[in-house]
Chain A
Amino acid sequence: MAQFKPIIGMEVHVELKTKSKMFCGCPAHHFQIKPNTHTCPVCLGLPGALPVPNKKAIDWTIILGLALNCTVNQQSKFDRKHYFYPDLPKGYQISQYDEPFSQKGYLTLDSGKKINITRVHLEEDTAKLIHKTIKAKDVSLVDFNRSGVPLMEIVSEPDLASGVETKEYLKKLRDIIRALKISDCDMEKGSMRLEVNLSLAKKGQSNYKVEVKNLNSFRFVDQAINYEIKRQTTLLEKGITPKQETRGYNPKLKKTFTQRSKEEAQDYRYFPEPDIPPMVFTDKDIAVLKSQLPELPETKIQKLATKHHLPVPTARLLVSQPTNYQYFIKALPSAKKHQINPQKLANLIINKKIDITQKASTQLQSLTQKKTIDKAIIKQVITQNPDVVKKFKVGKTSVLGFLVGQVMKQTKGQADPQVTRKLLLEKLSVKK
């Protein structure tokens, strides 16, 4: 079974949450909007209409490229990608072919494994197709509200090796995109769409590729990958090369299935979009965009490692839970005060020895307080406060608190209040 190594790549499409569409000023939001009410000559593909690119969508695409450690191409352009489909109003999609905005980046998994990112590019979304039967006839209904919405495509190298790794990659990617606030990445609303490319090989590369589409959750991606690994292994063991095709996934049956396979490879006839001038980004432009990056998970991890000397695996665990991470940062001053080093603090949080819904200082204090208290101090406090002791002896037990406070003062807060109370009571009940 372990003979064949899975070679997995992910293609992720993300709808950007810009106000307007990619090449026109129509509203970009389309979820539960009346059909064909957010269109204009441009996104409806009317004769004579021309595209003008949305600057924010481009900035955001570059920002994600930077967040994924990509090289931003200083020269970029849009290209036309031709094919016929009812959801593609112009008969071509304005996309990017050989000069995408960003290339050659990576995303690091918790294990430290780097998943290389081939490219991050920008294109326009297609219309929505709904299938219906009207008067006993099967038809497809087309709604162009979604046509022209900015769509970012993130392509990974086939570096993923399992369903589990793929899930983690997707989760991290989604977290970064959400941290950048450029998309909701809501799979139910379709603002994040997944496509898996999978093949198996004993060594090196494979000579075929299977695509799986219409995966509506990370969980289904994992399941589909596991199913495909089994299916393809079975074929390969028989000496059969799996058919190069596009498959869908049925979550109920937990199986992939052949979709209508294309007879031949598509000839997209890419050429540079003549209606849109090329784009040039200077070092300054890129620096400005880079400065807009919020602190990303990887940066947080690096900081924890260098500034606070946390081992990287500990740092990763901490950062992967934003609430834990935030608590850690806030609790650092308290920890210092109580002479607890950052690593110990991190472990306390990770191992749930500390309740992150409660304040840190009291919890840390009690954790570090000594359970054994110098009996001499107890004796000293009693001796130094005869009037208070007298009051206690005649029944005013509340003054015990004051004496406890005195012990705390003398021990610089190190004494455990419960134990102090116990010892004082012992001493006071003995003395006459």
Chain B
Amino acid sequence: MAINVKHLAKLVQMSVTPKEEKKLAAGFKQILKTISLLNQLNTSKVSSTFQVTGLENIFRPDKIDKKRVLTQKQALSNAKKTHQGYFVVPAIFK
């Protein structure tokens, strides 16, 4: 089974040159082969573990945490483009 690298690149919004595409495709083929080893193991009666902590019901109370709130200046401090307190991006048409 060949992975559609172009489609994936679009899905994750990354750019690939044709050369890269070729290299990635070959790499994925190899990786999928290694991963397919897992099919040797019978997991039909096994549940999935998504979290290893065993924790449940971790919440926070509905309180305002002033200490972590950033100032507008801090929030914008690493943006390439800002305007009157906003982040700026090329126009999005809804």
Contacts and interface: CB of A to CB of B under 8 A. Distances in A.
Interface of A: 18-20, 24-27, 34-42, 44, 52-58, 84-86, 129-132, 134, 137-144, 214, 248, 259-260, 267, 269, 271-272, 274, 276-280
B68 A138 contact: no
Interface in B27-83: 50-51, 53, 55-66, 68-72, 75-76, 83
A394 to B, nearest CB: 78
Contact of B89 (A27, A37, A142, A279): A142
B88 interface: yes
A267 B11 contact: yes
Given A130-B86, A139-B90, A24 B62 contact: no
B69 A27 contact: yes
B89 A36 contact: no
Contact of A139 (B56, B72, B88): B88
B59 A39 contact: no
A277 B69 contact: no
Contacts of B61: 54-56
B86 A40 contact: no
Given A34-B85, A130-B86, A141-B86, A277 B62 contact: no
Interface of B: 11, 13, 50-51, 53, 55-66, 68-72, 75-76, 83-94
A44 B75 contact: yes
A36 B75 contact: yes
Contacts of B84: 35
A35 B72 contact: yes
A39 B84 CA distance: 16
B91 A24 contact: no
A130 B84 CA distance: 12
B56 A278 contact: yes
Given A53-B60, A267-B11, A274-B50, A36 B91 contact: no
Contact of A142 (B64, B87, B93): B87
12 contacts: A20-B64, A24-B68, A25-B69, A36-B86, A39-B75, A42-B68, A44-B75, A129-B94, A131-B92, A142-B87, A269-B11, A277-B58
Contact of A40 (B57, B68, B90, B92): B68
Contacts of A248: 94
